[in-house]
Structure 1
Amino acid sequence: MPGTDDAGAAQQAGGQPKQERARRTKAQILRAAAEIFAEHGYAAVTLQDVAARASMTKGAVYFHFANKQVLALAVVEEHYRRWPPLLERVRALGLSPLESLLAVLDGTAEAFRHDTVVQAGARLQIERSLIDADLPQPYVWWPEVLAELIAKARDAGQLRPETTPESLARVFVSAFFGMQHTSDVLTGRADLMDRYVEMRDALLKGFVVG
């Protein structure tokens, strides 16, 4: 007869595919929810809409997400999980401080242009008054990150010595999120990269040395 250790190993092996299926199903629901939230906004979406977009039953959606508020919160949280890996990827490139700043800004713009989860998270944050859930506080992580990158570029002599990192970071955050929202409203973000480059170059023009 197999020992208890063998039985436990068999149970664990048998449970792993089920856990993986549940993870994939949850990810599929999140992707579908992000798509439909980005397209139609929070108020117009139902869990039945999400289920239909995900090609599954409403019960399957309810199994993973108790209600629309919980699902919206999950999408917003997934939005914010996109940014630390972006920062780590840029750091791993070994770029100069100014190049690192530009790479982070460029990567963020690309995500807003192409990543549905990012787009949905941004829209849901704008509509946070409609959502009965404790969403993450927006616009607080980015100024700290950008201020650090700007300070390093200034200290390396790549930005003018009178540059105030905290102020420039706040301006970048305000301009960026206003820019992406304007692009979304007017063109569905089709012109986002053009608008972004205009904004980036205009803001940095008076600060870059050389």
Structure 2
Amino acid sequence: MLEAAARGLSRNAYAGLKLEQVASEAGYTRGALYHLFANKEELALAVVKWVEQTWTAEVGRPAADQAEPVDALLAMARGHALYCRRGVASVMTNLSVQFAGQDHPVGQAISEIFDRLVADCAGWIEAGRENGSIPPGPPPQETALAYVGALEGLVGQLAGHTPFDVELAERAVRGVLGL
């Protein structure tokens, strides 16, 4: 159900999400969906949590397991492109745009996830500069923002264009990192 909702949010954003379509795609009735989730907001929050958990398991942890910071950043780029092949490439971006500047639980949840991701990337960038694997450049925080932005933008446009999505994701972040 959550993956079907994530695909729907990725395609149609929050405003265009049709709960009947989500239920049907997941093999449930609309009534079953409402038994699990009281409303669209509750479903969207569950999707955000699901994306965070599955992305962390499939992309974040394997990247963090890399011994070298630059390898972690490159592994994250490749892993993110692979993760987004399931049709969920734009879910977080769409929700972020929908709730930008609003005091809304969905927007707040996404902001917290984004802030943690940027902080992790900034830490790897700083460590890579300290060990010489990443050349000097703009401050780590700004470079991390550019890294995440480049990766999200590219993968959002190329999701599922195999094998070029993975190759171009790695090339894009290499450019941001100055490699």
Alignment of 1:152-167 (within 5 A): 152-161=127-136, 164-167=139-142
1:197 maps to 170
Q: For structure 2, which runs of at least 5 residues remain unmatched after alignment? A: none
For normalisation by structure 2, the TM-score amounts to: 0.77
2:68 maps to 96
2:149 maps to 174
Q: 1:116 aligns with which of 75, 81, 87?
A: 87
Q: Is the CA contact (8 Å cut-off) linking 1:109 and 1:196 kept in structure 2?
A: yes
2: CA distance between counterparts of 1:172 and 1:119?
16
Q: How many residues align?
A: 171
Q: Is the CA contact (8 Å cut-off) linking 2:135 and 2:177 kept in structure 1?
A: no
2:121 maps to 146
Structure 1 residues 51-88: Cα deviation after superposition (integer angstroms, max 9, x where no partner): 22222222111111001121112112222223433332
Q: 2:60 aligns with which of 63, 71, 87?
A: 87
2: CA distance between counterparts of 1:204 and 1:172?
7
Structure 1 residues 169-200: Cα deviation after superposition (integer angstroms, max 9, x where no partner): 1221232233334x16xxx6536435423422
Q: Which has the larger radius of gyration?
A: 1
Judging changes above 3 Å, is the alpha-carbon distance between structure 1 residues 76 and 196 closer, same or farther for their aligned structure 2 residues? same
Q: Secondary structure of the residue that 1:169 maps to in structure 2?
A: helix
Structure 1 residues 75-115: Cα deviation after superposition (integer angstroms, max 9, x where no partner): 1222222343333223335x323212211222123223x13
Q: For structure 1, which runs of at least 5 residues remain unmatched after alignment? A: 1-28
1:106 maps to 78
Q: Is the CA contact (8 Å cut-off) linking 1:48 and 1:58 kept in structure 2?
A: yes
Q: CA deviation at 1:146?
A: 0.5
Q: CA deviation at 1:133?
A: 4.6
1:56 maps to 28
Q: Is the CA contact (8 Å cut-off) linking 2:151 and 2:169 kept in structure 1?
A: yes
Q: Secondary structure of the residue that 2:16 maps to in structure 1?
A: coil
Further displaced range: 57-66 or 153-162: 153-162
Judging changes above 3 Å, is the alpha-carbon distance between structure 1 residues 196 and 141 closer, same or farther for their aligned structure 2 residues? same
Judging changes above 3 Å, is the alpha-carbon distance between structure 1 residues 47 and 144 closer, same or farther for their aligned structure 2 residues? same
Judging changes above 3 Å, is the alpha-carbon distance between structure 1 residues 124 and 78 closer, same or farther for their aligned structure 2 residues? same
1:34 maps to 6
2:43 maps to 71
1: CA distance between counterparts of 2:12 and 2:69?
39
Judging changes above 3 Å, is the alpha-carbon distance between structure 1 residues 41 and 87 closer, same or farther for their aligned structure 2 residues? closer
Q: Which has the higher contact order (CA 8 A, sep 6+)?
A: 2
